[in-house]
Amino acid sequence: MVKEAMFYEKVDGGKVVCRLCAHYCKILPGRIGICGVRENREGTLFTLVYQKAISTSVDPVEKKPVFHLYPGSGSFSYATVGCNFHCKFCQNSNISQFSKQRTEYIPGQDITPEQIVAMAQGYECRSIAHTYTEPIIFFEYAYEIAQKAHDADIKNIFVTNGYFTEESLKAIAPYLDAANVDLKSFEDRFYRRLVGAKLQPVLDSLKMMKKLGIWVEVTTLIIPTHNDSEDNLKNIASFIHDDLGSETPWHISRFYPHYKLMDVPPTPVATLRKARQIGLKAGLRYVYSGNVPGDEGESTYCYQCGKVLIKRWGYQILDNKIKNSKCFYCGAAIDGVGMG
Ligand code: SF4
């Protein structure tokens, strides 16, 4: 369904400037923005993906990954096609890189915001995850779903690349309970070469999310030879610690050859373990390894007494020793929302 877009301004000659994400696309009449799903029709900007869900599923919240919001609960997850990033290592390129396969037809099922919330309720999910592609680019849909979710006492999670503008982030903030934000590298050239974006807007969004009171977790997919240097990992860990706070979880995730990076080998487990030690040494309380089922880095440890609090295997929780948001053994306050 087509709907007039939020956050844009009309400029000279029928052009529009989209202010939804930090690309600030200037779009000529009859053209679309970088995300491939916002179109200038005779001087008015439209979203092409409103109420067009390409994917819906009930996932464990751990799959997002969000480890510090109602651990072990279900998160109703959905997406539309399109993305404002063009990552060469995208895991969902068949639905995210829609602009590359442009047609007049937008794939997806017509599902209203009310129906999304009703499905989340039906499956007894504690949260709705706006995920899989990039929720910023289906903002109008996500915004309405998020409002209705709060009316139904359901939390909202954005799994996002963090490429907000100040105005779009401030608009969704009252409804956004948590976000997992990809901080793919601390080098701007990585963003420019492998993603087609810039680093600084992501850092700005992360800092603003914390100021706005949103629970933030950070994910870094470690890609051999591209972002696995010690300096880069130390810079990410220091930024999270100094600018977001030691309570911010950092998920270090294993890369497998995918999409346009088929010639890069999987991340050695030793690299993930080294990265985890870098995060812990920087003073972060919760550093996790992802995509390595059974690794000790999947579990949550008490930052004060060191005991295992949430024992995980993949997305499964085997045991939770957090009581009233405190460590069962030493009483330290464990950060997050509804931790147990
Ligand atoms: S949301 Fe799409 S059209 Fe708008 S600025 Fe970002 S990439 Fe461009």
* Spacing of C-alpha 203 from chain mean position: 14
In tens, the pLDDT along 167-202 reads 999 999 999 999 999 999 999 999 999 999 999 999
Question: Which of 284, 294, 337 lies closest to 315, judged by CA?
Answer: 294
In tens, the pLDDT along 214-242 reads 999 999 999 999 999 999 999 999 999 99
**Regions of the chain short of the pLDDT cut 50:** none
Which ranges in the chain are annotated with CATH 3.20.20.70?
52-327
Residue having the nearest C-alpha atom to atom 2 of ligand 1: 35
pLDDT for res 100: 55
Is the distance from the beta carbon of residue 24 to the nearest atom of ligand 1 less than 6 Å?
A: yes
Is CATH 2.40.128.640 what the domain over 52-327 is classified as, yes or no?
Answer: no
Question: In 216-288, which residue ranges form alpha helices assigned H by DSSP?
Answer: 230-239, 269-281
In tens, the pLDDT along 93-123 reads 989 987 655 657 889 999 999 999 999 999 9
Residue having the nearest C-alpha atom to atom 6 of ligand 1: 21
Is the distance from the beta carbon of residue 49 to the nearest atom of ligand 1 less than 6 Å?
A: no
> What is the best residue among 3, 7, 23 to mutate for testing ligand 1's pocket, by most ligand atoms within 8 Å of CB?
23
Alpha carbons 320 and 67: distance in angstroms, whole number: 12
Residue having the nearest C-alpha atom to atom 4 of ligand 1: 18
Angle at Cα 166 formed by Cα 163 and Cα 167, nearest 5°? 110
How many angstroms does the Cα of residue 230 sit away from the middle of ligand 1? 33
pLDDT for res 97: 87
Residue having the nearest C-alpha atom to atom 3 of ligand 1: 33
pLDDT for res 103: 58
Residue whose token pair is 């063009």:
86
With contact defined as beta carbons under 8 Å apart, do 223 and 191 qualify?
no
Which strand (E) or helix (H) includes residue 4?
strand 3-4
Tell me the pTM. 0.97
